[in-house]
Amino acid sequence: MIISEKPVELKLDNYLWGSRRENVSASAVVFHTGTVLHVNFSVSESELRRMVNEPNGMVWTDSCVEIFIKAEDSDEYTNIECSASGAFLACHGPGRKDRIRYSAEERSAVSTDVAILENNNKRSRWEMKISVDLARLGLISGIPADIAFNLYKCGDELREPHFLSFAPISTQEPDFHRPEFFEHATLA
């Protein structure tokens, strides 16, 4: 896949680990400007949870969208997970265990903007715009660049937890920390 300066929409249409299609849908528009990757998520779900407000908190328990990305030649990957509250978690490392949280200076390479479009007792719609300077985080040195990534939508502590992904994941238990299922892409 090619990610360019021209926006392209990606559907998060892999409903994983018992997630019900009628309760949630998500897509993302992706593009880059220089070394900055932009991922603009659009989400519709039956419940909106926005309890986590602290930086690097347990945002995956809320209504959450996530970007996992790695340089094609690296053993480490970066995960950026954003609550509908606007709080985000940013870590890196080679696997699920012993993730290293990015410092405040490194976190400044990530910007987010959340908009709640609808929130009632039947339906919530919201958007999250995430911009990541991949060069500042050491993931790429310039354009063109080869990467691997996946996009996710989750809500671990919602009344009906759900797990969606862009690229499919073939595991028995919920686990987004699986770089072997990342999609390969070239930033061009």
Would you state the pLDDT for residue 125? 97
Give me the half-sphere count of Cα atoms (radius 13 Å) on the Cβ side of residue 135.
11
Q: Which pLDDT score, from 0 to 100, does residue 21 have?
A: 84
**Stronger pLDDT, 22 or 138, i.e. the higher one:** 138
Q: Give the pLDDT confidence of 132-144 residue by residue, as tens digits.
A: 999 999 999 999 9
pTM for the model stands at: 0.95
Which single residue is written with the structure tokens 């987004």? 176
Helix (H, G, I), strand (E, B) or coil at 61: helix
Mean pLDDT for the stretch of residues 162-172: 95
Measure the CA–CA gap between 69 and 130, rounded to whole angstroms. 13
Q: Is 33 exposed, middle or buried (0-12, 13-18, 19+ CB in 10 A)?
A: exposed
Q: Domains (ranges, CATH) in the chain? A: 8-170+178-187 (2.60.40.1190)
Compute the mean pLDDT over every residue in the chain, rounded to the nearest whole number. Answer: 95
Q: Do residues 8 and 28 lie in contact, with contact meaning Cβ atoms separated by under 8 Å?
A: no
